[in-house]
């Protein structure tokens, strides 16, 4: 006979309650069959079989008769014992949380994110690259973010500056033609520079504090392939200050300048108007389109790191060159996912040595 309606459908996936266990105890005591009990409380017969097995205990009864003591054993289903066993099993059920096996990693990750300003992805990538926790589970980046969201870590979302400030990219941005022509357009820049295949190609930009005209600014240069950063404090956002800083940098580099600097890309700001005239004899200078910050994407990303130390609107008057060197060193010692979790300093050293070897200036 086919049943169109199942009496147990409403209980599918639900555990027995203590009240149901008490009903089972009464029906067992009255010698009802397991199948009859299942039908009475609208449960599957196998559920009742398993429950009675787990909740049945062995009891001992002694009886004195004719001067002798007789011992009898019998089985009884105890609903209180069954409920207690069920609750113990529930405590130990489910998959063991991953973070339980990552206590040392969690402490180290919190220290790196809170004290050293590392991102969750950098923490995970660096730990995996250098096999720092061979006996512990290192989570993936997504899992580490989940641990932060769940309150497992000391680190909170408010401590992750990049996560809070991230904006969705606008795919409808259009390139505008240059109204001011300071030199060779980025459209003529070789593809090998665009793809970062070769070393020695830099982006130059400025970082301002507040918008006072007499306010000093930072001049930044970043090498596109290795993300190695140079930060210089200059007197103002004008062509004279920029030209003076670039000339000093050229003198400091000496004979190695042409091995380190093969091209520079800047925007069309008036402060860079002297770059083409001052550097075109020793390297290529390219200029981006107006309102196209993504064409200098490396500089834009680097500036996010600088803003951790110098928020927008803060004056740079009291900032010393030593302060700039500290920020520069932190950035160049920060492991990057794009570099396989090498630091920019490591990548720059390797790339520069390789470039010198290819030029025949040093032996392999």
Q: What is the pLDDT of residues 208-231, one digit of tens each?
A: 988 887 889 999 999 999 999 999
Residue 255 confidence (pLDDT) above 80: yes
Are 109 and 239 found together in one domain? Answer: no
Q: Supply the pLDDT for residue 212.
A: 80
- Mean pLDDT, residues 147-168 taken together: 78
Report the C-alpha gap between 199 and 360 in whole angstroms. 16
Report the C-alpha gap between 112 and 148 in whole angstroms. 14
Q: Supply the pLDDT for residue 330.
A: 96
Residue 361 confidence (pLDDT) above 70: no
Asked whether the CA dihedral 282, 288, 293, 296 is positive or negative, the reply is negative
First to last CA, the chain: 87
| Choice among 167-176, 198-207, 238-247 with the minimum mean pLDDT | 167-176
Q: Supply the pLDDT for residue 347.
A: 96
Asked whether the CA dihedral 284, 290, 296, 300 is positive or negative, the reply is positive
Of 65, 91, 117, at which residue does a domain stop?
91
Are 104 and 224 found together in one domain? Answer: no
Q: Supply the pLDDT for residue 5.
A: 46
- Mean pLDDT, residues 236-243 taken together: 92
Quote the mean pLDDT of the chain: 85
Question: Quick one: what percent of the chain has pLDDT higher than 70?
Answer: 89
- Mean pLDDT, residues 305-312 taken together: 90
Q: How far is CA 6 from the centre of its chain?
A: 49
Q: Supply the pLDDT for residue 234.
A: 93
Residue 3 confidence (pLDDT) above 50: no
* Long-range contacts, 312-316 (Cβ 8 Å, 24+): 313/209, 313/210, 314/209, 314/210, 315/209, 315/210, 315/212, 315/215, 316/208, 316/209, 316/215, 316/216, 316/217, 316/218, 316/233
Are 255 and 109 found together in one domain? Answer: no
The answer to whether 124 and 138 have CB atoms below 8 angstroms apart is: yes
Is the model more confident about 328 or about 6?
A: 328
Residue 321 confidence (pLDDT) above 80: yes
- Mean pLDDT, residues 301-313 taken together: 90
Residue 66 confidence (pLDDT) above 90: no
Q: How far is CA 101 from the centre of its chain?
A: 20
Q: Report residue 175's pLDDT band, with 50, 70 and 90 as the boundaries.
A: low
Domain range for 28:
14-91
Q: Residue 174: inside a domain, yes or no?
A: no
Q: Report residue 8's pLDDT band, with 50, 70 and 90 as the boundaries.
A: very low
Number of structural domains found in the chain: 3
Report the C-alpha gap between 124 and 101 in whole angstroms. 15
CA torsion 23-28-30-32 (nearest 10°) is 100
Q: Residue 51: inside a domain, yes or no?
A: yes
Residue 341 confidence (pLDDT) above 80: yes
Are 122 and 238 found together in one domain? Answer: no
Please report, for the domain that includes residue 237, its CATH number.
3.30.420.10
Q: Supply the pLDDT for residue 201.
A: 95
Of 70, 91, 112, at which residue does a domain stop?
91
Are 77 and 139 found together in one domain? Answer: no
Are 64 and 107 found together in one domain? Answer: no
CA distances (Å), origin 43, targets 1, 13, 55, 106, 290: 19, 11, 16, 45, 73
Strand partners, 69: 64
pTM (predicted TM-score): 0.67
CA distances (Å), origin 217, targets 76, 212, 313: 85, 10, 12
The answer to whether 259 and 232 have CB atoms below 8 angstroms apart is: no
Residue 303 confidence (pLDDT) above 60: yes
Q: Report residue 235's pLDDT band, with 50, 70 and 90 as the boundaries.
A: very high
Q: Supply the pLDDT for residue 6.
A: 45
- Mean pLDDT, residues 109-134 taken together: 92
Q: Residue 178: inside a domain, yes or no?
A: no
Q: Residue 3: inside a domain, yes or no?
A: no
- Mean pLDDT, residues 46-69 taken together: 85
Of 91, 126, 157, at which residue does a domain stop?
91
Q: Report residue 92's pLDDT band, with 50, 70 and 90 as the boundaries.
A: low
The answer to whether 267 and 258 have CB atoms below 8 angstroms apart is: no
Is the model more confident about 154 or about 361?
A: 154
Q: Residue 83: inside a domain, yes or no?
A: yes
Pairing label, strands 263-266, 284-287 = parallel
The answer to whether 37 and 24 have CB atoms below 8 angstroms apart is: yes
């Amino acid at each position: 006979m086919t049943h169109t309606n199942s009496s147990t459908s409403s209980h599918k996936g639900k555990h027995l309650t203590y009240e149901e266990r008490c009903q089972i105890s009464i029906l067992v005591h009255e010698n009802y069959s397991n199948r009859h009990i299942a039908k009475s409380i609208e449960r599957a017969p196998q559920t009742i079989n398993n429950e009675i097995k787990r909740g049945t205990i062995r009891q001992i009864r002694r009886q004195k008769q004719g001067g002798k003591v007789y011992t009898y054993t019998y089985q009884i289903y105890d609903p209180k014992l069954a409920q207690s066993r069920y609750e113990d099993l529930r405590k130990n059920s489910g998959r063991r949380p991953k973070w339980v096996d990552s206590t040392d990693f969690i402490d180290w990750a919190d220290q790196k994110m809170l004290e050293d300003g590392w991102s969750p992805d950098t923490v995970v990538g660096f730990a995996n690259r250098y096999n720092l926790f061979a006996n512990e589970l290192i989570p993936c980046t997504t899992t580490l973010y989940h641990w932060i969201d769940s309150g497992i870590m000391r680190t909170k979302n408010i401590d992750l500056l990049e996560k809070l400030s991230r904006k969705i990219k606008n795919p409808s941005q259009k390139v505008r033609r240059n109204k001011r022509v300071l030199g060779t357009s980025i459209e003529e820049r070789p593809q090998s520079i665009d793809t970062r295949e070769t070393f020695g190609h830099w982006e130059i930009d400025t970082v301002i504090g507040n918008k006072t005209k007499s306010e000093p600014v930072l001049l930044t240069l970043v090498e596109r392939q290795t993300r190695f950063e140079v930060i210089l404090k200059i007197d103002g956002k004008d062509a004279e200050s920029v030209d003076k800083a670039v000339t000093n940098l050229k003198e400091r580099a000496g004979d190695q300048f042409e091995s380190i600097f093969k091209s520079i890309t800047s925007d069309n700001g008036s402060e860079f108007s002297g770059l083409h005239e001052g550097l075109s004899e020793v390297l290529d200078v390219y200029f981006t389109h107006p309102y196209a910050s993504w064409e200098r994407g490396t500089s834009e990303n680097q500036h996010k790191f600088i803003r951790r130390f110098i928020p927008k609107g803060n004056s740079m008057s009291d900032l010393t060159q030593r302060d700039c060197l500290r920020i520069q060193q932190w950035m160049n010692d920060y492991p990057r996912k794009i570099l396989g979790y090498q630091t920019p300093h490591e990548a720059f050293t390797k790339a520069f040595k390789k470039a010198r070897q290819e030029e025949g200036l040093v032996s392999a």
